[in-house]
């Protein structure tokens, strides 16, 4: 068992103490960030030659689910920032040395949305754009950004090629007042702006090559971890965080029900409908958690055997991810409807957990219908529509 998993309950207890201040600040506190660094969560998927563990992704998901159940914004940042070393392990060795050579605890922000536009120049690109939702960005020294680039040898001004662009902190601006939201406020997912930044070729990744494991085979051929598809592992981390937050709603409801008495003088624990909602919710949360862990374990074991995770396996895992997320969210919704009016008071932690869940569900990786339809279509040989992560 990984050391982070062994100490997880203590870490979750400590992180829970930072929830209110993180929400008030609109970013995780410095203390919370230091907790995550000290625990080594962000280094779980980092390569061993740069102070990481190359841990089993199942354990990474377990950590994220428990943290978000207790401290949603802090766990969310741990999950999103914690995935980036998985990608960076597959980059040009020059970039890995720049990022981790002096400090293996260097954090990297994102987002991956293909918002930026990049003109080709000698030796690289000139990148421009403004990206929302850069979770944990105040605590990061680098950022990886999605964008469309001009095709090599193609028409000037025609942006068609999908890339991830990597920039140091000096090359982008964080808009500090850009994160005013009803939930997950503590993630500090602010906008970042890039103006005419030069990005050398070695600080870029072609998305198709990343997803096809070209970079993993080139730079990390001996590691099973990096042969797990990026488009399976990253959305799985988002799913794990969201399921964890939903679990937190159910846990808070369970604790609140222990001493709750309705306006009719009936104890919640003696209300059969109340108890039925709680029992069903716990079962659905357990099912969602087990599904995520089972699928990522299967993918890792396939890679560990030297075999390739197939497109069919990835598609099925993705449809399981979004279904697990919405099964868990439905469970949280059922208990929240039974929590009564006092659950909406700002002093009651159920409402904060519920608000955080509402925002988490809006993440692009959690949008369900396109994934369901794309998966069903794949059974009949129908191509996956552009923009659907499956």
Q: How far apart are CA 61 and CA 241, in angstroms?
A: 8
Beta strands in 45-141 (DSSP E): 108-109, 116-121, 124-134
Q: How far apart are CA 128 and CA 122, in angstroms?
A: 17
Beta strands in 86-245 (DSSP E): 108-109, 116-121, 124-134, 142-150, 159-168, 173-175, 190-200, 204-206
Q: How far apart are CA 203 and CA 149, in angstroms?
A: 14
Q: How far apart are CA 68 and CA 11, in angstroms?
A: 12
Q: Count Cβ neighbours within 10 Å for each residue of 217-233 and write b for 16 or more, e otherwise.
A: eebbeebbbbbbbbbbb
Burial (Cβ within 10 Å: 0-12, 13-18, ≥19) of residue 282: middle
CATH topology of domain 3-100: Butyryl-Coa Dehydrogenase, subunit A; domain 1 (1.10.540)
Would you list the domain boundaries of the chain? 3-100, 108-205, 228-378
The domain covering 108-205 belongs, at the CATH homologous superfamily level, to Butyryl-CoA Dehydrogenase, subunit A, domain 2 (2.40.110.10)
The string of DSSP codes covering 272-288 is HHHHHHHHHHHHHHHHH
**254-288 residue pLDDT tens:** 998 888 776 666 687 878 888 899 999 999 999 99
**154-187 residue pLDDT tens:** 888 899 999 999 999 999 999 999 999 999 999 9
What does R_g of the chain's alpha carbons equal in angstroms?
21
Report pTM: 0.96
The domain covering 228-378 belongs, at the CATH homologous superfamily level, to Butyryl-CoA Dehydrogenase, subunit A, domain 3 (1.20.140.10)
**209-228 residue pLDDT tens:** 999 999 999 999 999 999 99
- Judged by average pLDDT, the poorest of 2-6, 94-98, 279-283 is 2-6
Q: Decide whether 3-100 matches 228-378 in CATH topology.
A: no
């Amino acid at each position: 068992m990984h050391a982070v998993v062994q100490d997880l309950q203590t870490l979750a207890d400590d992180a829970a103490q930072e929830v209110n201040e993180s929400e008030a600040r609109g970013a995780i506190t410095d203390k919370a960030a230091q907790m995550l660094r000290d625990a080594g969560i962000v280094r779980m998927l980092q390569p061993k030659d740069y102070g990481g563990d190359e841990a089993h992704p199942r354990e990474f998901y377990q950590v994220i689910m428990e943290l978000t159940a207790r401290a949603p914004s802090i766990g969310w940042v741990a999950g999103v920032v914690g995935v980036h070393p998985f990608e960076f392990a597959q980059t040009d060795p020059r970039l890995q040395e720049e990022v981790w050579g002096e400090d293996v605890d260097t954090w990297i922000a994102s987002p991956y949305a293909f918002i930026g536009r990049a003109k080709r120049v000698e030796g690289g690109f000139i990148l421009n754009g403004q990206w929302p939702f850069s979770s944990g960005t105040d605590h990061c020294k680098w950022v990886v950004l999605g964008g469309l680039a001009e095709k090599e040898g193609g028409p000037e001004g025609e942006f068609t090629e999908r890339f991830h662009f990597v920039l140091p902190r000096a090359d982008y601006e964080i808009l500090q007042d850009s994160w005013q939201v009803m939930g997950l406020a503590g993630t500090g997912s602010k906008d970042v702006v890039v103006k005419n930044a030069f990005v050398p070729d070695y600080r870029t990744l072609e998305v198709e090559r990343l997803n096809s494991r070209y970079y993993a085979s080139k730079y990390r051929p001996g590691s099973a971890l990096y042969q797990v598809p990026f488009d399976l592992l990253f959305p799985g981390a988002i799913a794990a965080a969201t399921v964890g937050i939903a679990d937190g709603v159910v846990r808070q409801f369970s604790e609140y029900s222990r001493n709750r008495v309705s306006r009719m003088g009936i104890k919640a624990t003696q209300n059969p409908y109340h108890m039925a909602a709680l029992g069903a919710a716990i079962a659905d949360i357990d099912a969602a958690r087990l599904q995520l862990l089972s699928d990522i374990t299967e993918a890792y074991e396939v890679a560990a055997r030297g075999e390739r995770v197939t497109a069919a396996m990835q598609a099925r895992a993705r449809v399981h991810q979004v279904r697990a997320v919405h099964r868990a969210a439905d469970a949280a919704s059922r208990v929240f409807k039974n929590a009564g009016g006092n659950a909406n008071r700002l002093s009651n932690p159920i409402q904060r957990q519920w608000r955080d869940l509402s925002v988490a569900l809006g993440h692009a990786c959690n949008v369900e219908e396109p994934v369901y339809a794309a998966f069903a279509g794949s059974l009949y040989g129908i191509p996956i529509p552009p923009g659907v992560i499956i």
